[in-house]
Amino acid sequence: MRILGLSAFYHDSAAALSVDGQVVAAAQEERFTRKKHDSAFPSNAIDYCLSEGGVDLNNVDYISFYDKPFLKFERLLETYVAFAPTGFDSFRMAMPVWLREKLFQKDLLGRELGNSFGKGFDVQKKLLFSEHHLSHAASAFYPSPFEDAVVLTMDGVGEWATTSAAQGQGNKLEVIKEIHFPHSLGLLYSAFTYYTGFKVNSGEYKLMGLAPYGEPKFANLIFDNLIDVKSDGSFRLNQDYFNYCTGLTMTNDRFAKLFGEPVRKSEELLTQFHMDVAASIQEVTEEIVLRLCRGLRRDTGARNLCLAGGVALNCVANGKVHKEGIFDELWIQPAAGDAGGAVGAALAAYHLNFEQPRAVSNKMDGMSGSYLGPEYDQEEIERRLKSQKAQFAVLDDDGVLDKTAEALAEEKAVGWMQGRMEFGPRALGNRSILGDPRSATMQKTLNLRVKFRESFRPFAPSVACDDTSNWFDFSGQSPYMLLVAPIKEDRRREMTEAEQKLFGIEKLNVPRSEIPAVTHVDYSARIQSVHPQTNPRYHALLTRFKERTGCPILVNTSFNVRGEPIVCTPEDAFHCFMGSDIEVLVVGNCFLRKEDQDPSLKLDYKDAFELD
């Protein structure tokens, strides 16, 4: 049975194709349109998934959409009625869009599918709708390596649910608890994202990365005024301080007065105050997630936990759950945000609507390492690079590993494009920019000269799976870069007395371990453990780098510049290479050096993209 899952019209549109319960292809629309967080109908992603599956739309048995628009509209109306007459401006702006497009989404989907794939497609017989949080839960449970598990989904809001728990057993999955809008952990975190001057729905990573530079001085203020949290993690937000229900901003004037500072404008400097605010909301979030997990373990007796929803991308909180050992095993959907809802919608239809059995592997999960996107063979890579007037050498497999490891050991920034593109927000070694983690200047260089982003942003280490415990205080595996753990004590560098007195951003340039480029200011790192079974070429590169340097770790950041989606095609990779200070580009077996390229091909990405 072939089922196409779709996520669209809100943010991070995506498509996924499931064949007999196996995810064979998945991709976000943004990778094809080059529009970050593209929310449009995912026609390009659909076209890719069908091509990868070797079918056309008429050969698809069902199409499953990831939420129910009528329930969202119900929530919208009830919220405006509850807060009336407040929020009329927001209501006036929202209603035309809903009445023209979103309310009649079945017709809209039918038109879009017909426009893209032919008028003869009968969407009425094949289109299904899942609920938002059920799609998230299905995306986490069904690909997990567990026969049974409890699934915790946390995000901004679906139809009504903002936090939910589901129990999975075999092919069964049932939502057992929900917290409803406007009480939302995701919206609470986004409110602080907005307050500290970052962009909601994309700047939450920045807030998390900023937190270790501060002290959680305002945590009690948040608990005392903004949120009431029970021992089991259930919570309610005090709406006196927020504006997201009916307004055009996340917070109101009372929120700003509580903290004593106005909302930071994006162009204003970050101060120690903003770092302390970030540290405070991060600590509050971690405590709530821990209470939720403890309560679910106590109430359900489940041994295994799956996580999904946008809050599940908070890898620091995930690391705390893992470290505390509340559950025996933990698995997190790598595309935990709305894009992953496309996977969940397809799998929920297969297992729940049609009651099909589920095959579980205790060794590997069902996401294939999240390498579910397009790939290009060597002949096509060479043809595409030649069309861009790129200069390159073609090496054999051993030569690629040798030359790349050599460039990395020389502290060069390397663009690395191999195999199938990753699905989800993380680059996992197929669409990555790589660097030497031993370099004391690599973090600053990559942030300012390659990524064109804030200097405080941390980078993640990729480590060969067998070497993980030798460098990090961490047991188990973290294949999807969704768990944070401390650097081992014997790998750390003792700080001087003067260095220990530094505060905030002053801490940035102090080397803290043998691998300073991936050691955050609190001695933590967001780990990706790399397995030869899921990514043999990237694992081989780590092995070759270890043979050369003694270090089995590489800096791994997504292959893009600020404001742009991760690269998809060889052309995308070459453009990013020519628009940044990346010094070496490796696409398949093609090896490119910056000094060999025509200088007239250089791009200025700093001007070409809006900085978020």
User: In angstroms, rounded to a whole number, what is the distance separating the alpha carbons of residues 422 and 566?
Assistant: 9
Place of tokens 């679906």: 158
User: In angstroms, rounded to a whole number, what is the distance separating the alpha carbons of residues 579 and 389?
Assistant: 15
Residue 485's H or E segment, with its range, is strand 483-486
Strands 584-587 and 414-417: parallel
Give domain 185-330's CATH architecture. 2-Layer Sandwich (3.30)
Half-sphere exposure of 142 (CA within 13 A, CB side): 31
Q: Is the dihedral of CA 494, 319, 555, 398 positive or negative?
A: positive
Structure-token pair, residue 271: 């101060």
Beta-strand ranges (E) seen in 249-317 are 304-308
- pLDDT value, residue 300: 97
- pLDDT value, residue 612: 36
Integer CA distances (angstroms), 428 to 192, 534, 542, in order = 28, 10, 13
- pLDDT value, residue 610: 39
Tell me the CATH class for 378-608.
alpha beta
- Per residue in 250-303, pLDDT tens? 999 999 999 999 999 988 999 999 999 999 999 999 999 999 999 999 999 999
Question: Would you say the CATH fold of 378-608 matches that of 185-330?
Answer: no
AA letter at 155: D
Starting at the edge strand found earlier in the chain, the sheet holding 62-65 runs 22-28, 14-19, 2-7, 62-65, 127-129
Query: In degrees rounded to 5, what are phi and psi of residue 105?
Result: -70, -25
Mean pLDDT by 10 residues, the chain (612 residues): 94 96 98 96 96 93 86 59 58 56 68 72 81 96 97 91 97 96 95 96 92 96 98 96 86 97 94 96 98 98 98 97 97 97 98 95 87 98 98 98 98 98 97 96 84 81 96 94 96 82 72 92 95 96 98 97 95 97 97 97 63 36
Please enumerate in sequence order all residues whose Cβ is within 8 A of that of 54, keeping only pairs 6 or more positions apart, or say none. none
Strands 235-237 and 227-229: antiparallel
- pLDDT value, residue 91: 56
Q: CB-based burial of residue 497 (10 Å sphere; 0-12 exposed, 13-18 middle, 19+ buried)?
A: exposed
- pLDDT value, residue 202: 86
User: In angstroms, rounded to a whole number, what is the distance separating the alpha carbons of residues 113 and 117?
Assistant: 6
CATH of domain 2-139+342-363: 3.30.420.40
- pLDDT value, residue 82: 59
Angle of helix 315-324 relative to helix 272-300, nearest 10 degrees, comes to 40
- pLDDT value, residue 537: 98
Q: Are 409 and 435 in contact (CB under 8 A)?
A: no
- Per residue in 440-493, pLDDT tens? 888 888 888 788 877 778 899 999 999 999 999 998 889 999 999 999 999 998
Place of tokens 């095609």: 569
Q: Are 5 and 335 in contact (CB under 8 A)?
A: no
- pLDDT value, residue 608: 43
Cis, bond preceding 532 (omega within 30 deg of 0): no
Q: Is the dihedral of CA 152, 153, 154, 159 positive or negative?
A: negative
The DSSP output letter for 513 is B
Tallying the residues shown for the chain, one arrives at 612
Domain ranges of the chain: 2-139+342-363, 185-330, 378-608
Q: Are 166 and 134 in contact (CB under 8 A)?
A: yes
User: In angstroms, rounded to a whole number, what is the distance separating the alpha carbons of residues 119 and 111?
Assistant: 8
Integer CA distances (angstroms), 35 to 31, 38, 384, 578, 608, in order = 8, 5, 21, 19, 12
Residue 387: helix, strand or coil by DSSP?
Answer: helix
User: In angstroms, rounded to a whole number, what is the distance separating the alpha carbons of residues 537 and 400?
Assistant: 10
